[in-house]
Structure 1
Amino acid sequence: MAVISGFVQSYDQLLTVRFLLGVAEGGIWPAILVMIGHWFPAEERAQAFGVWIINIPIASIITSPLSGWILSFSDWRTLFVIEGIFPFLIAAPLWWWLAADRPSDARWVSPEERDYIEAAIAEEQRNAPEAKGYRDVFKSATVWKLVLVYFLIQIGFYGLNLWMPTLIQTLTQRGFAAVGLIAALPYVAAGFGLWFNGWLADRSGRYAWHVFAAMLVASVSLVASVLVGHAFLGVSILLICLAMGGALAYDGPFWAAASTTMPAAVLGGALGLINALGNLGGFVGPYVGGYLQDASGGSFLSTAVFLAAMLLLAGLVMFSVKADRRIDRGGHRG
């Protein structure tokens, strides 16, 4: 669908293809989250989710300058085609070679490691509550709270992600290629934030606090970066890096918390519901951000305040989710 996007000839065709892209992409997230749950016990899961989601900043570090370079000599159609071909050349071969649903299905896992993983996860599932069916997913207040948190985060993240190149170009007054290189820097910060916040969350077991901390850093840094503006360009770019780092660093603790909300038998449906409805915020953020920028005569301040408010509100709502992992004084996790 990404490649086909480069060949559309009308607005209606573009909407259709982008919708189909979303349908194809939507199933990937919950499927991999469930698969990671088969590989890592609860005490390692926040960091595991965080490390996996580092794929987003890594891809952005590569494609930000690449996209700027392609657009410097061609157009958006060529951009879609070239970058849409990458999964066929890189992702698909690696997936078929390495991916396995469970440790018992992977030939490259040692017997000792396989037994440790499966014993730890079996012990967790032995004490887990039973679910009668997917109806329990829709009845769960915790699942709906997580939907709201994810929806608010996606408003802020996608708004920031879409408008960040415009903001950088406004601040630096540089061309596409230079903006692409600078735009890669925030994703370096995001990669570190994902790993570090996931590691801390696994040690503390207090997922809500780690989601809130990431949202607080993102919201404050985003507004501050716009207020600083041209006066201190280096400081402004640093603040943008912190904003993007915080806007992604929530991921590991958030999905670790989500993975505790439902029994394994219906977990895929719960994660899929959170992902599907929460991602609707990805439409709201860029749309409202663009409207506010137009209404303010091109100023990004009102957009930044709106996106920051959504991120901060998401962090506050997360405190209502009772999904933290308890750690007793003896170091045992539950």
Structure 2
Amino acid sequence: MTDATLPGATAATADFESRTYKKVFMRIVPFLMLLYVIAYLDRVNVGFAKLQMSGDLGFSETVFGLGAGLFFIGYFLFEVPSNILLHKLGARVWIARIMVTWGLVSACFWFVETPVQFYALRFLLGLAEAGFYPGIILYITYWFPSHRRARIIAVFMAAIPISGIFGNPLSGWIMDAFNGVAGHQGWQWMFVIEAIPAVILGVVVYFYLDDRISDAKWLTGDEKALLQREIAADQKGKVQEASLGSVVKDPRIWAMAFIYFCIVMGQYGLTFWLPTLVKGAGIQGNLMIGAVSAIPFLCAVVVMILCGRSADRMRERRWHLIIPALVASAGFVVSATTGSPLIGIIALSAAAAGVLTCSPLFWSLPTAFISGAAAAAGIAIINSVGNLAGFVSPYAIGALRDATQSTAAGMYMLAGSLAIGALAIYLTPAKLVNR
């Protein structure tokens, strides 16, 4: 081959690579997004149910906060074994099992009458869903190398704000439209109606997803070879095969878990309490509360995708996390101090954009230095420990609201957590994560 033919050959190779990854993206990522929209809606719709449920059942703010948080205790206990089983059994079998199980448990909230029943079902919902999110992150590493991953995960995790954009108004509408139908409350109908898609999609997963590149009948031989070659090259120098004990002893894993804990504090503080905060700003009616609650999530979608693209293009991870974390911290402070509903919604929008942007970009940090079986265990450990903040955050905010009759102390707590997380990210060596 002469030098004159090299540019054309290089251009053809780049075009083939681009078309192959676009094909993989379109086959996998929109479907995974749909699954996560349903998962996240079933996880946090209890925040909307609270608008009716607490009054109907006589639940205090502390009872609601504890129940909302108990989801993450069940999640924590089964997270690591669930992700290891996914790695061994395959994504389509295990994710299908997860979705059908959590759909059935979510529908059972119809029968809640006492705090103990509420606590038990939230705990069981966490057990059922454990392994879904880290399993999806692990699954993405099977198909996309590190330098493409931040953008892919950001697009996938746009499902969180999308679930808020559509799910909040939907939940509000169901609660208003179905309240009193057949003698039951709107929040009961909401739990059942929103659980049905999880069960249906769980069955679809089994037939739609492929466990690995070699199983994908929709790829040509050349496309499979390209993807496998890229993944193999990406895994060089990473920790791949490791015992659970060695992963647990790795200080980098625990540093990542601490950072993620700080981020999740802000994330679930926002998503569980946003409807209550919007109502407190003077917005009336469940449908209108849902519509206004969608505004911060609309802002978050745009910022998440733009930051993910920028992080991959620049191959820089730390500052793409630090800046959104500090913006979110400032947003929580302003929302707690302003007396203006308009400024409050703007501040909450900044907080949502910042904290929800941190979540997908964070996963580009640990997946830059672990893969394979080590990634299955490491991602699960990081996610399970980090998600304990999902217990701490709503419970602490509920207790602080009961103690102070104000949301300000809770918002300051979230702001401080994100600021500490930003500092921990800054102290992470750039050479470890910038790939």
TM-score if structure 1 supplies the norm length?
A: 0.90
- Give the distance between the partners of 1:104 and 1:29, measured in 2 at CA: 23
User: Quick check: 2:368–2:433 contact (8 Å CA) kept in 1?
Assistant: no
1:51 shift after superposition = 1.0
1:116 shift after superposition = 2.3
Output one character per residue of 1:157-178: Cα deviation in whole Å (capped at 9) or x when no partner. 1112122111111213322110
Alignment of 1:173-192 (within 5 A): 173-192=283-302
- Give the distance between the partners of 2:360 and 2:134, measured in 1 at CA: 14
* Among 120, 145, 149, the residue aligned to 1:41: 145
Cα–Cα, structure 1 residues 55 and 156, in superposed 2: closer, same or farther, change >3 Å? same
Cα–Cα, structure 1 residues 192 and 96, in superposed 2: closer, same or farther, change >3 Å? farther
Output one character per residue of 1:243-293: Cα deviation in whole Å (capped at 9) or x when no partner. 111111012221111112324222111101111111111111111112222
Q: Which residue of 2 aligns with 1:23?
A: 127
Q: Which residue of 2 aligns with 1:264?
A: 372
Alignment of 1:112-261 (within 5 A): 112-129=222-239, 131-230=241-340, 233-261=341-369
1:325 shift after superposition = 6.3
1:92 shift after superposition = 2.8
Quick one: which amino acid aligns to residue 287 of structure 1? Y
User: Quick check: 1:258–1:323 contact (8 Å CA) kept in 2?
Assistant: no
Greater Rg by CA: 2
> What is the number of equivalent residue pairs in this alignment?
324
1:323 shift after superposition = 6.2
Quick one: which amino acid aligns to residue 82 of structure 1? I
1:68 shift after superposition = 0.9
Unaligned runs of 5+ in 1: 328-333
Cα–Cα, structure 1 residues 15 and 128, in superposed 2: closer, same or farther, change >3 Å? same
Alignment of 1:316-327 (within 5 A): 316-322=423-429
Query: Please, which moves more after superposition, 214-223 or 167-176?
Result: 167-176
* TM-align CA RMSD: 2.0
User: Quick check: 2:304–2:353 contact (8 Å CA) kept in 1?
Assistant: yes
Quick one: which amino acid aligns to residue 142 of structure 1? R
User: Quick check: 2:401–2:410 contact (8 Å CA) kept in 1?
Assistant: yes
Output one character per residue of 1:206-261: Cα deviation in whole Å (capped at 9) or x when no partner. 2222111111111111221333332xx33332221121111110122211111123
Query: Please, which moves more after superposition, 129-138 or 74-83?
Result: 129-138
1:103 shift after superposition = 2.6
- Give the distance between the partners of 1:318 and 1:110, measured in 2 at CA: 41
* Among 405, 415, 419, the residue aligned to 1:308: 415
Cα–Cα, structure 1 residues 237 and 110, in superposed 2: closer, same or farther, change >3 Å? farther
Alignment of 1:57-76 (within 5 A): 57-73=161-177, 74=179, 75-76=186-187
User: Quick check: 1:211–1:250 contact (8 Å CA) kept in 2?
Assistant: yes
Quick one: which amino acid aligns to residue 410 of structure 2? T
Cα–Cα, structure 1 residues 63 and 307, in superposed 2: closer, same or farther, change >3 Å? same
- Give the distance between the partners of 2:287 and 2:338, measured in 1 at CA: 24
- Give the distance between the partners of 1:325 and 1:44, measured in 2 at CA: 17
Cα–Cα, structure 1 residues 271 and 194, in superposed 2: closer, same or farther, change >3 Å? same
Cα–Cα, structure 1 residues 32 and 11, in superposed 2: closer, same or farther, change >3 Å? same
- Give the distance between the partners of 1:273 and 1:190, measured in 2 at CA: 27
Query: Please, which moves more after superposition, 263-272 or 286-295?
Result: 286-295
User: Quick check: 2:253–2:378 contact (8 Å CA) kept in 1?
Assistant: yes
Query: Please, which moves more after superposition, 118-127 or 92-101?
Result: 92-101
- Give the distance between the partners of 2:214 and 2:118, measured in 1 at CA: 43
Q: Which residue of 1 aligns with 2:9?
A: none
Output one character per residue of 1:296-324: Cα deviation in whole Å (capped at 9) or x when no partner. 23x22222111111112112112233365
Unaligned runs of 5+ in 2: 1-104, 180-185
Cα–Cα, structure 1 residues 133 and 277, in superposed 2: closer, same or farther, change >3 Å? same
* Among 262, 274, 281, the residue aligned to 2:389: 281
1:132 shift after superposition = 3.9
1:82 shift after superposition = 1.0
Q: Which residue of 1 aligns with 2:118?
A: 14
Cα–Cα, structure 1 residues 326 and 204, in superposed 2: closer, same or farther, change >3 Å? farther
Q: Which residue of 2 aligns with 1:330?
A: none
1:47 shift after superposition = 0.9
User: Quick check: 1:220–1:243 contact (8 Å CA) kept in 2?
Assistant: yes
* Among 201, 212, 216, the residue aligned to 1:106: 216
3-state DSSP class of the match of 1:6?
helix
1:129 shift after superposition = 4.0
